[in-house]
Structure 1
Amino acid sequence: MHANPGRDEIAHLLRSVQTVAIVGLSNNQRRPSFGVARELRGFGLNIIPVNPNLSSPVLSEEPYASLRDVPEPVDLVDVFRRSEHASEVAREAVEIGARVLWMQLGVVNEEAASYAREHGLTVVMDRCLAVDYRNLCFR
């Protein structure tokens, strides 16, 4: 059973992150993924939209169909997909050399967490990245 890293470890890893690929980012401003991306960008992080259904920039950033298409290194992969799709995202995160797989609130997939951990990624599951960043990096 997956156990998230402790509060101090999460704070440390978040302070080391520069580039976040948001898988499932929506261009709909009412969607949680858009709000999280906007907030992370406001914190100074580089945001990369990953969604095959996007054809125009989101928050002024060009979208990519998959993590494999992203032309720059990614520190953290933030998953805004249904839980059953998280294993595929975990495999891509490993392929591109991401350091962290973060599954948003409500996204729970033990197989994805196990696969990512076995391949050296830090895994956080069922937590909001923006909330943790705000609460742990600005105290």
Structure 2
Amino acid sequence: MAFENPSRDRIKQLLMDAQQVAVVGLSDKPDRVSYMVSEAMQQKGYRIIPVNPMVTGEILGETCYPTLKDIPGKVDIVNVFRRSDQVVPVAQEAVEIGAKVFWLQLGIFNEEAAEIAAQGGLEIIMDRCIKVEDSILLPGGK
């Protein structure tokens, strides 16, 4: 059976319930889409947790971690800015840390990663921009 994203009502509920969003592939460069999307989500009240092994220090005022497993505390959404062929290990880590949602940004789609996440009990959203969905579904904020 072909993958299908959750309904808009369900996505809205997932966003309303989320506090901590780990962003895998978050760049420290302000002109990158990952930075702009994460900054906008941060301004909407989400705590953004940067995950990028190439960056030490902080991004958007938050400590950057090399992997999801290095993050202390819980993660609600794992938001991924990586190429489709690089997301399977990210799905495995998302399961290992007990995240609730595995979200692949616009243009990112991987059935194997989705299957791993689903078997681990996560809800999966693929090929959708979290900022766009939040703007449409929660225009006034949470």
Q: What TM-score bracket applies, with the shorter chain setting the length? A: over 0.9
Aligned length: 139
SS in structure 1 at match of 2:63: coil
Tell me, in whole angstroms, the C-alpha distance in 1 between the residues paired with 2:95 and 2:55. Answer: 23
Tell me, in whole angstroms, the C-alpha distance in 1 between the residues paired with 2:53 and 2:116. Answer: 23
| Structure 1 stretches of 4+ moved >3 Å | none
User: In the alignment, what sits opposite 1:135?
Assistant: 136
User: In the alignment, what sits opposite 2:45?
Assistant: 44
RMSD: 0.8
Task: Report if aligned partners of 1:75, 1:98 keep a CA contact under 8 Å in 2.
Answer: yes
Q: How does 1:1-139 map to 2 (within 5 A)?
A: 1-138=2-139
Shift of 1:4: 0.2
Tell me, in whole angstroms, the C-alpha distance in 2 between the residues paired with 1:60 and 1:7. Answer: 31
What are the Cα deviations for residues 81-121 of structure 1, in whole angstroms up to 9, with x where unaligned?
A: 11111111000000000000000011110000111111110
Q: Percent identity?
A: 47
Q: Which runs of 5+ in 2 are unaligned?
A: none
Shift of 1:65: 0.2
Shift of 1:56: 2.3
Query: What TM-score, normalized to structure 2?
Result: 0.96
Task: Report if aligned partners of 1:2, 1:114 keep a CA contact under 8 Å in 2.
Answer: no
